[in-house]
Chain A
Amino acid sequence: MNNVVEGKVFAFGKNIDTDQIYPGRFVELTEPEDIKQYAMYGADPEFTKKFRPGDIIVASTNFGCGSSREHAAITLKSVGVAAIVAESFGRIFFRNAINLGIPVLTCKDISKVAANGDKLRVDIRSGRIENLTTGAAAQATPLSDYIMHILESGGIKPMIRAMQEAKQR
């Protein structure tokens, strides 16, 4: 994980639920290459044509509310999201994203300082956010040490895998 990321902002409103991030009718897909085709499909069907790896998603409150589908996190990881900054997150989406190693930061002022197309710099550890287009800045709630540990391990899978391999040796 890069501790500081810079990317173009794709901004969304409040209550972007997992059906908008990844519609239910595509949940049967199981391969990341297939799952990535439908990222944000319910909110913006053209999203995957515009989004580039390293770009950043910004949203208002309750991003990722709704279903437990890990597909919502898998699809955003697979399109290469560098970070997601929202005023607040749905609980399960937040856990899923951390488990997959996606930095998700809570910043109550983010909608005021970042708009579609701006270039944003996010310091994952400190939570410092700078808008390189406008010069505006904001502070996200720093992630807990436990969550930073998961992110720096590349998500929960490498952590558990290492534990299992140590046990099986």
Chain B
Amino acid sequence: MHAIEKLLAAKAHQASVTTGEIVNCDVDLAGINDLYLQTVKSFYEMKGDKVYDPDKVVLFFDHYAPCATIKQAQNHKEFRQFCREQGIEKLFDIDQGVCHQLLADKGLVCPGKIVVVTDSHTTTHGAFGAFGTGVGATDLATILITGKLWFKVPEIVKINITGTLQPGVYAKDVILHIIGDLGADYNVYRAVEFAGPVVAQLSVSERMCMCNLSTEMGCKTSYIQPDAVTMAYLKEKGITDYTIYTTDPDFEYAEELTYDVSDLKPQVSAPSSVDNVYDLARYAGTKIDEAYLGSCTGGRVPDIAVAAKILKGKHIPRDTRMIVVPASKKVMEEAMDKGYIKTLMEAGACITAPGCAACLGVHQGMLTGGETCISSTNRNFPGRMGSTDAKIFLASPAAVAASALNGCITDPVPYLKD
């Protein structure tokens, strides 16, 4: 069996599972974000009384942090009441940041756990050897009532990443390249494991970026076998209750692919599909109106650090705006302590509260018709950040910063030579 299958079998209290089998698994962490009051509505529509375990339920006020409309405020109010009534203590309020980053910051994710959140990018937690997957509100309400959820045991694809990344090329470029090559629907209903020497050297932050974006090729979940990098995270967070599963040598993957990334150049995902990927050079010089740095994909400390490095002592041009949204309060504090926030403010960037902000087009940096944005986030669908007539390019945080500096899409590599 694969490690993912062993994990599912353990949570379903079975000795083994087979591909395609439907299993009913215990859920270790059930997360609800503030977009989906429907979760609470479905809970009561299904005659829910008390949540299965208040300690395993987490509320995130991240997408509407802080609220921009009366309706959003009303939804938060009803969530707060639900938490009080149900004795849910883990309500991460509007100051805290994006759900996936918070689970890592707070040490709530670790190997061997099933993490289900009402957010499609819950695949992020494969970076820690957990089974992370996103569901809708009613599925989550089912967990709140029963503590369990049904899963179809997925086929698993292994992607080996070999070679050596060039300076200025990041995990973001690698995963965009892979999605562009394989297509947005390549892995629908299947799981992916990332492996190989490049993955072994990636930081927790870059692993989170890769696993996060695996959603954009349809993955149900993602997985990186826990290693020394994972152990360092567990030690830092003081986590001792975890289980590392390993894949049997005779396990047969549905497919096994290898990408050598030694010659990979900075990539962009061009409008308006994440799999529309090219070398950034193809679009170099394209005028931008907004450069957006943030999200559960590209708003962590190393992302802000590289932007500060590129923009230090410089200023973005008139008629270009740069919005920086730290992924969490902890990220923001560290970026402040290291001076990155001040550097970016001096360069003309607008810093917002930690959260999801304009990534999903609800507030704090919306685009109007005819505008172009380069963004370190995960989606460039039509209308994703506002008008359906706006264009969104996805790229690495370094490319976002270099583009902000010049008011047009710019290769970051020349700015990163010491």
Contacts and interface: CB of A to CB of B under 8 A. Distances in A.
B120 A20 contact: no
Contacts of B35: 27-28, 69
Contacts of B362: 24-25, 27-28
Contacts of B75: 28, 30
Interface string B371-395: 0000000010111101010000000
A25 B136 contact: no
Interface in B127-152: 134-139, 142, 145-146, 150
Contacts of A70: 36, 38, 136-138
A129 to B, nearest CB: 20
Given A42-B382, A99-B139, A156-B138, A91 B36 contact: no
A162 to B, nearest CB: 9
B42 A61 contact: no
B120 A92 contact: yes
A65 interface: yes
Given A20-B382, A160-B146, A29 B71 contact: yes
A74 B120 contact: no
A70 B39 CA distance: 9
Contacts of B69: 28
B282 interface: no
A62 interface: yes
A95 B137 CA distance: 11
A77 to B, nearest CB: 11
B203 interface: no
B311 to A, nearest CB: 29
A69 B64 CA distance: 15
Interface string B147-175: 00010000000000000000000000000
A88 interface: yes
Residue of B71, B220, B381 contacting most chain A CB atoms (<10 Å): B381
B64 A28 contact: yes
Nearest to B36: A70
A96 B184 contact: no
Nearest to A74: B38
Given A30-B75, A66-B120, A68-B135, A24 B361 contact: yes
Contact of A28 (B49, B71, B138, B189): B71
A23 interface: yes
B118 A68 contact: yes
A161 interface: yes
Interface in B96-124: 118-120
B37 interface: yes
Nearest to B386: A25
A89 interface: yes
A157 interface: yes
Contact of B49 (A65, A95, A168): A168
Nearest to A150: B150
Contacts of B382: 19-20, 42-43
Contact of A65 (B46, B47, B72, B185): B185
Interface in B204-226: 218, 220
Nearest to A63: B185
B244 interface: no
B218 A67 contact: no
B273 interface: yes
A34 to B, nearest CB: 9
10 contacts: A24-B384, A28-B64, A28-B362, A30-B41, A66-B381, A68-B120, A69-B35, A99-B136, A99-B138, A157-B46
Closest 4 CB pairs of A and B: A164-B47, A62-B185, A96-B136, A70-B136
Interface of A: 14-15, 17, 19-20, 23-25, 27-30, 42-43, 61-62, 65-71, 73-74, 88-92, 95-96, 99-100, 144, 146, 155-157, 160-161, 164-165, 168
Given A92-B136, A95-B135, 8 more contacts: A15-B185, A28-B35, A28-B72, A43-B382, A68-B118, A156-B142, A157-B42, A164-B145
